[in-house]
Amino acid sequence: MSGQQEVMGERMIKFKGVSINSGRIAGAACLYSAERHRAVPEFLLSNEDLVAEELLKFDEVLRQCSEELDAIAAQVETSVGRAESEIFITQKHIMNDPKVTDAVRAMVKNEKKNIEWAVSDVLNEYEYTFAKIDNQYLSERANDIGEIRRRLLGRITKAKSGLLCEGQAHCSRGANRIIAAYELTADMVAAMNLEKVLGFVTEHGGVTSHAAIIARSLGVPAVSGIRGIMEFVRCGDTIIIDGDNGEAYLNPDAATVAALIPVEPVASEAVCALGTPPGMTLLANASTMEDVKQAAAMGADGIGLLRTEILFIKAERLLDEDEQYAFYRRIVDIMKGKTVTFRMLDVGGDKPLSFLRIKKEENPYLGWRGARYLLGNPDIFTTQMRALVRVSGETPIRVLFPMVVDAEQQRALLDLADKVIAEKGSSRERIEFGTMFEVPSAFIDAEAILPQVDFASIGSNDLIQYLFAIDRNNEMVSQDFNPEHPVLWKMLERLSTVAREKGKPLSICGEMAAREGMQRPLLDIGISILSVAPRLIPRVRNEMARYAGLLS
């Protein structure tokens, strides 16, 4: 077995991969294959009648696939959202592009090749060409071309991709199951009963692929890069997906299930009713509207981190002021007067907005990202701030600046914000501005940064990355990504002291706020505002209640 897999006990195998979406879940596996038509036959058409037949077949298949894509788009629009549904409309356009269809027809007519070979050859060539392009947006279109090829071939050869257990009596078509697949393709996600899938575990597939974005917007845990999983897993096997650590466990033993998937439903309901203990605040991190709804349902005290960049990533374009306003407004409405903290667009690093055509960077984590990107793109900043200022005219809100490196940069961001407030004839009173402490230099400059802002939040995911020079997304080094490191805790404690001295509320919104065993030490050092994924609220609230002596 490779270093990616570890046999533990009699049947359990632990796999190491890459997290596509966080969260943990245990469930039975359902296998999906998009690989059934790998071997494409190649033969020569011996007369013109056969050529004409193949061309007719192609027209018919194009029509059927176009209809199929329209139907999927409509289904996805209802079950996920409009932005995601556009993936399939784009695929329809690429599929019907005359450059593509003429090339296929020419191969059949001139070279007398059979239609499946022509489709495969032409689309393979396009996929390869796009994948090589040194531009993330265009290279990701290779995924779409691959999906179009599979769809067309599936129709021609009548060997559609699908669930491997399809037709068997126990097949639930993915409902309440964990889907194991070679690759998470957008059409595969669309073909399932999306609301019911528990999670995804795949051998291949990038963090920024469309399918990964859909998995994130569905809010289900997903891990990719699990090499060999399809070889080992059988339909109905139990799998744990640990999306927080990019790991999966096949046939886990009872102790592993109990350790990774704690069940405390009764206590959490009781504590939900009690609310967060006095003197503490429990906020939610949200990336999608679903997250916001879940946060409200879980009784979060507010939204501590609204990752606005996900809105843009999902839409695959920049949104104008009105569109942003409508979205932010809905969030505020759902939260019914509770605090909502909108983080300004935090792009770069692991969150490239491919449509912005940012030049490929050697070192994206140290490149044009966060606050640096906002200051370099005042138009984008200003449009977003205008939308936020409009919302603040109706309800007070909080706005958070990402990846701030020092007091000077903080000042520049606030100056830009002030210009928008003045232009809109609004007032600073309506917005509380905050800074994220996630770059080590900001911790050193905390005495100068804090007086400028109304509140602060610790982004421990990036902080650990930059403090220990360790990639937060690289599974090879994940064992050293250590939120318990004493150096980190020295920094947290020092910041907590400075924040108290300056009278500024300090929260923590990185993943460690929800990690088991972390709430007590955080509360001990005076960090009593925690912001965590919505579904983790009951567990974290219980821990806070135990700390306050309200729960045994």
Question: Helix or strand or coil: residue 282?
Answer: strand
CA 153, CA 158: separation in Å to the nearest integer?
8
Q: Which is nearer to ligand PEP, 182 or 489 (CB)?
A: 489
Q: Are strands 24-33 and 12-16 parallel, antiparallel or unpaired?
A: unpaired
Tell me the H-state helices in 335-404.
370-376, 378-394
Q: Are strands 12-16 and 247-250 parallel, antiparallel or unpaired?
A: antiparallel
Chosen from Mg ion, ligand PEP, none, partner binding at 307 (C-beta under 5 to 8 Å by type): ligand PEP
Q: Which is nearer to Mg ion, 154 or 510 (CB)?
A: 510
Residue the block writes with tokens 């994948």: 131
| Binding mask of the shown chain, residues 342 to 381, with x at each position contacting ligand PEP by CB under 6 A | ----x-----------------------------------
Tokens coding 158: 């009548």
| Interface with ligand PEP (CB under 6 A), residue from 91, 383, 409, 460 | 460
CA 199, CA 57: separation in Å to the nearest integer?
37
Chosen from ligand PEP, Mg ion, none, partner binding at 509 (C-beta under 5 to 8 Å by type): ligand PEP
Q: Which is nearer to ligand PEP, 143 or 341 (CB)?
A: 341
Does the footprint of Mg ion cover residue 459 (CB under 5 A)? yes
Question: What residues numbered 384-443 form the site for ligand PEP, per CB under 6 A?
Answer: 438
Does the footprint of ligand PEP cover residue 281 (CB under 6 A)? no
CB 328 within 8 A of CB 348: no
CA 384, CA 380: separation in Å to the nearest integer?
6
Q: Which is nearer to Mg ion, 309 or 438 (CB)?
A: 438
Q: Which stretch binds Mg ion (CB under 5 A): 5-13, 126-134, 138-146, 452-460?
A: 452-460
> Considering the complex, what minimum distance in angstroms separates the CB of residue 435 from ligand PEP?
13
Q: Which stretch binds ligand PEP (CB under 6 A): 204-212, 255-263, 330-338, 459-467?
A: 459-467
Residue 509 is among the residues annotated as catalytic for this protein: yes
Q: State the catalytic residue, choosing from 93, 210, 235, 485.
A: 210
> Considering the complex, what minimum distance in angstroms separates the CB of residue 205 from ligand PEP?
20
CB 398 within 8 A of CB 431: yes
CA 23, CA 285: separation in Å to the nearest integer?
13
CA 169, CA 402: separation in Å to the nearest integer?
51
Q: Indicate the residue whose CB is closest to Mg ion.
A: 462
Question: Helix or strand or coil: residue 246?
Answer: coil
Does the footprint of ligand PEP cover residue 510 (CB under 6 A)? yes
**Cα–Cα distances in Å, from 215 out to 34, 150, 194, 209, 293?**
17, 21, 9, 10, 17
| Interface with ligand PEP (CB under 6 A), residue from 92, 307, 386, 504 | 307
Question: Helix or strand or coil: residue 359?
Answer: coil
Question: How far from each other are the two terminal CA atoms of the chain, in whole angstroms?
Answer: 44
Tokens coding 35: 């690989």
Does the footprint of ligand PEP cover residue 509 (CB under 6 A)? yes
Tokens coding 473: 């997304």
Chosen from ligand PEP, Mg ion, none, partner binding at 247 (C-beta under 5 to 8 Å by type): none
Does the footprint of ligand PEP cover residue 225 (CB under 6 A)? no
Q: Which is nearer to ligand PEP, 346 or 432 (CB)?
A: 346
> Considering the complex, what minimum distance in angstroms separates the CB of residue 454 from ligand PEP?
18
| Binding mask of the shown chain, residues 424 to 443, with x at each position contacting Mg ion by CB under 5 A | --------------x-----
Nearest-5° Cα angle at 88, 82 to 93: 120
Summarize as ranges the residues that interact with ligand PEP (CB under 6 A): 305, 307, 346, 438, 459-462, 509-510
Residues lying near Mg ion in the complex (CB under 5 A)? 438, 459, 462
Give the residue numbers annotated as catalytic, written as ranges: 210, 509
